Amino acid sequence: MPAPGILVTGGAGFIGSHTCVALIAAGYRPVVLDTLVNSDARSLKRVACITGIEPVLVRADVRDAAALDRAFAAHPVRAVVHLAGLKAVGESVADPLGYYDVNLAGTLSLVQAMGRAGVRTLVFSSSATVYGDSHPSPIPESAACNAVNPYGRTKAMVESVLADLSRSDGRWGIACLRYFNPVGAHESGLLGELPHGPPNNLMPYVAQVAAGERDCLVVHGADYDTADGTGVRDYVHVMDVAEGHVAALRHAARRPGVLMTNLGTGHGASVLEVVSAFERASGRRIALRIGPRRPGDAPAYWADARGAFLALGWRARRDLDQMCADSWRWQAANPHGFDDPAPAFAANLPRFQDNSGADTDANINSNVGHSHA
């Protein structure tokens, strides 16, 4: 029996490429649909270095209905993991229409095409930003959605659309994954985050300071009401997040309805704790200076992670030290990202490792490079 195909929109991006690794490890065959606007096709070569299987790439936009119909016709898939979207909060404030168009109208376009193709299993990349900044932590899934920026509102609106869809047609199985702060990289050092320009997020910035690419980390506020005064977030290893997608996919394929679930570790780490962990992992000193608070930043939030364990049997298994170690391995081995050749030690990696749960839907014992002719 051939491995079941899964369409992964945005599959060449940071979370997408790691999710491809986890899907292949779990016996699925990802078909990546990506515009490559904010990602790099060479990430899929790295997926192949790790797993022996290079996902097919369909270069297309989820807003292009005809392209979606062609993709579903050419690549029969059982389910869709929908990660494609714009993700910078600040940019969403400046260009809300662009964000609503890509994230919301794009998802509408995708689910309509899924309906035409008879594919009704969907995992959607939502975000903890749907909660807004007024909830005490840990934040359970039952907390009200009060997103405070257009990016978060695009995610909350998509969740609402998908809930209505599920209520109207009981054949759909849908899981919305509310990511907290995915960081780190694949443990092989072959795959990681590739920020365009100065990183918006803490860990890639810290990694670049450790590597000497940037002089100094600016800490945005050290006078918050937290243990050390700096902001606290729920950092979660990207491979845990990737495996969460596999667990959510299995759930959605078996249980009609819609599930909203957090993907977080269930505890927070402060900026200074991240810096210390990164110093330990890298053996480098991270220069930092304290700057003013950034408008719109919440002091602290982290997930209630119990819902995901109850619903999916998933929990994050990699700690902050591993997030930093893997992030540093990726940064050190690929100072120029995918412009660097795949490190030589890749050949010595185990083919793949299934950390995504007990029940595998399909076995793969092929290392053929392409999944579809």
Going residue by residue from 141 to 160, which x/- string records binding to a copy of itself, judged by CB under 8 A? ---------x--x---x--x
Q: Choosing from 151, 179, 205, 224, which is the catalytic residue?
A: 151
Helix (H) or strand (E) holding 236: strand 235-237
Residue 296 sits in the site that holds a copy of itself (CB under 8 A): no
CA proximity to 7, closest of 70, 51, 50: 70
Going residue by residue from 315 to 354, which x/- string records binding to a copy of itself, judged by CB under 8 A? ----------------------------------------
Peptide bond into 138 cis (omega under 30): yes
99 noted as active-site residue: no
d(CA 210, CA 285): 7
Tokens 């491995």 identify what position?
3
Residue 96 sits in the site that holds a copy of itself (CB under 8 A): yes
- The single-letter code of the amino acid at 308 is A
CB of residue 97 vs a copy of itself: minimum separation in angstroms?
Answer: 6
* Straight-line distance from the first to the last Cα atom of the chain, in angstroms, rounded to the nearest whole number: 16
For the beta carbon of residue 1, count every other beta carbon within 10 angstroms.
5
Stretch in the footprint of a copy of itself (CB under 8 A) among 96-104, 120-128, 325-333, 358-366? 96-104
* Residue 49 token pair: 């270095």
Residue 256 sits in the site that holds a copy of itself (CB under 8 A): no
Residue 167 sits in the site that holds a copy of itself (CB under 8 A): yes
Q: Are the C-beta atoms of 267 and 103 separated by less than 8 Å?
A: no
Stretch in the footprint of a copy of itself (CB under 8 A) among 105-113, 125-133, 248-256, 320-328? 105-113
Residue 307 sits in the site that holds a copy of itself (CB under 8 A): no
The dihedral sign for the CA sequence 124, 126, 131, 132: negative
CA proximity to 307, closest of 214, 176, 196, 201: 176
Number of residues that bind a copy of itself (CB under 8 A): 23
CB of residue 121 vs a copy of itself: minimum separation in angstroms?
Answer: 16
Residue ranges in contact with a copy of itself by CB under 8 A: 93-97, 100-101, 104-105, 108-109, 111-112, 115, 150, 153, 157, 160-161, 164-165, 167-168
Catalytic residues: 151
